[in-house]
Amino acid sequence: MKKISKEYEIGDKSIDSLITELARRCSYDKNEYVLHEILTTAVKLGLESRDMGDLKLVNNALKELRYSFKVFSPYRHTKKVIIFGSARTKKTSAEYKMAEEFARKLTEKGYMVVTGGGPGIMEAGNKGAKAGKEFALNIRLPFEQKPNPYINEKDKIINFKYFFTRKLIFIKETDATALFPGGFGTHDEGFEMLTLVQTGKSKPRPIVFIEPKGSTYWSVWSRFVNKELLKNGLIDKEDINLFRIVTSVDEAIRYIEDFYSVYHSIRYISGLTILRLNRKISAKTLNLLNQKFKDILKEGEIKFTSPMRKEIDDGEYLDLPRLVMNFNMHDYGRLCAMIHVINSDEE
């Protein structure tokens, strides 16, 4: 168990003793120091803040996160896709029908889908999903966005007061992002997702923009990204690897499946980057990675490795093969490009 920091305390021995005892009684061994800090933070808030609004904000956010973790915890080993898009999309539109088909085919393949719980594209996602294979993260708005009627299990509906906690759960609890045409909210969610992956604040994931054939919605957006952002040096050319624009449901699903065909997951340990794989890649592909992506390494080369001590302690995917490298923790667009090369390995 990690030692509880003596630097982060209240400074009152009687209160600190109560916090220590409560943390000991209410946590698992490995989690005790974290719970101790959470309790210490809560007490500090009570002692330092006279603003009821501050306390309510922290209280509501913490309760929303706690409940969300409880809901998602049993399903953490099932891959999930978040579906974004307009709440105003008509049921008769091509976008609605595509979102419905997309959710249906995904859940038939064993994925789960997560939507914002409202009408439009969100409704189509829940409507298309197999029973019990979807979640709805609804936002409480002044004009009352009510959960759509196609959510089969009510225990998988989470109602949020705050956008920031809702967006955190969208990202934390899913493995891929699909965006259909939408308004400000869709662009906000799409650009935030790209920014988080670009900066390494979110793990690499497939981000796919879906539009019907004949639509110019995402193609016009892509021209803006290339003409204004890329051309003016506001993003790197490798950042274009962070997303894919498609015009069919099958192509979108194939892109998501391909992303996880060989690549499994990532872990950062003691300055090293570990890539877990569904199967071992060939020596030829490993050599190609070292030739093509040497520029994103601080030093050394990309190698096969056995599970790291921290992974063994945490019991994380110990049966999977791994690559280890001293990644520069900067060029995440290049890192995503490398994952695509790994996935192109032929057995």
User: What's the pLDDT at 147?
Assistant: 76
Residues 143 and 250: their CA atoms lie apart, in Å, by 36
With bands split at pLDDT 50, 70 and 90, how would you rate the model's confidence at 88? very high
Task: Give yes or no: residues 221 and 274 share one domain.
Answer: no
With bands split at pLDDT 50, 70 and 90, how would you rate the model's confidence at 47? very high
Residues 249 and 105: their CA atoms lie apart, in Å, by 8
Average pLDDT in the 286-297 region? Answer: 97
* Residue 104 near residue 130, CB atoms below 8 Å: yes
Task: Give yes or no: residues 112 and 220 share one domain.
Answer: yes
10 Å Cβ neighbour count for 329? 14
Q: Which residue has the higher pLDDT, 145 or 214?
A: 214
- Residue 6 within a domain: no
Q: In the chain, how long is the greatest CA-to-CA distance? A: 69
Task: Give yes or no: residues 52 and 194 share one domain.
Answer: no
Task: Give yes or no: residues 309 and 336 share one domain.
Answer: yes
Residues 98 and 29: their CA atoms lie apart, in Å, by 47
- Residue 113 within a domain: yes
Residue after which a domain boundary falls, among 47, 73, 99: 73
With bands split at pLDDT 50, 70 and 90, how would you rate the model's confidence at 302? very high
CA torsion 265-135-103-240 (nearest 10°) is -40
User: What's the pLDDT at 253?
Assistant: 98
User: What's the pLDDT at 146?
Assistant: 72
In tens, the pLDDT along 144-169 reads 567 788 887 778 999 999 999 999 99
In tens, the pLDDT along 320-337 reads 999 999 999 999 999 999
146: enclosing H helix or E strand: none
pTM value is 0.93
In tens, the pLDDT along 260-291 reads 999 999 999 999 999 999 999 999 999 999 99
CB-side neighbour CA atoms (13 Å) of 179: 26
Q: End-to-end alpha-carbon separation of the chain, Å? A: 42
User: What's the pLDDT at 145?
Assistant: 61
Percent over 70 (pLDDT), the chain: 98
Q: Which domain holds residue 251?
A: 74-259
Residue after which a domain boundary falls, among 73, 94, 123: 73
Length of the chain: 347
- Residue 3 within a domain: no
Q: Which residue has the higher pLDDT, 206 or 140?
A: 206
- Residue 7 within a domain: no
Average pLDDT in the 30-42 region? Answer: 93
Q: Which long-range contacts (CB under 8 A, 24 or more apart) does 293-300 make?
A: 293/334, 293/337, 293/338, 293/341, 295/331, 295/334, 296/327, 296/328, 296/330, 296/331, 296/334, 296/335, 296/338, 297/325, 297/326, 297/327, 297/328, 298/326, 298/327, 298/328, 299/326, 300/325, 300/326
The mean pLDDT value of the chain amounts to 94
Average pLDDT in the 41-57 region? Answer: 94
Task: Give yes or no: residues 234 and 271 share one domain.
Answer: no
* Two structure tokens written together for 154: 């009510």
Task: Give yes or no: residues 121 and 99 share one domain.
Answer: yes
Strand order in the sheet with 112-115: 157-160, 134-139, 112-115, 80-84, 176-179, 207-210, 244-246
- Strand pairing category for 176-179 and 207-210: parallel
Residues 107 and 105: their CA atoms lie apart, in Å, by 6
Task: Give yes or no: residues 95 and 142 share one domain.
Answer: yes
- Residue 255 within a domain: yes
CA torsion 70-72-75-81 (nearest 10°) is 180
- Residue 224 within a domain: yes
Average pLDDT in the 95-120 region? Answer: 97
User: What's the pLDDT at 142?
Assistant: 72
Residue after which a domain boundary falls, among 239, 259, 279: 259
With bands split at pLDDT 50, 70 and 90, how would you rate the model's confidence at 3? low
Beta-bridge partner residues of 299: 326
Domain CATH number, residue 130: 3.40.50.450
Q: What is the DSSP string of 209-238?
A: EE--TT--HHHHHHHHIIIIIITTTSS-GG
Task: Give yes or no: residues 62 and 88 share one domain.
Answer: no
* Residue 117 near residue 151, CB atoms below 8 Å: yes
In tens, the pLDDT along 57-82 reads 999 999 999 999 999 999 999 999 99
Percent over 90 (pLDDT), the chain: 90
Q: How many domains does the chain have?
A: 3
Residues contacting residue 196 through CB under 8 Å, at least 6 positions apart: 171, 202
- Residue 8 within a domain: no
Task: Give yes or no: residues 222 and 278 share one domain.
Answer: no
Task: Give yes or no: residues 244 and 294 share one domain.
Answer: no
Task: Give yes or no: residues 147 and 189 share one domain.
Answer: yes
User: What's the pLDDT at 143?
Assistant: 65
Task: Give yes or no: residues 105 and 66 share one domain.
Answer: no
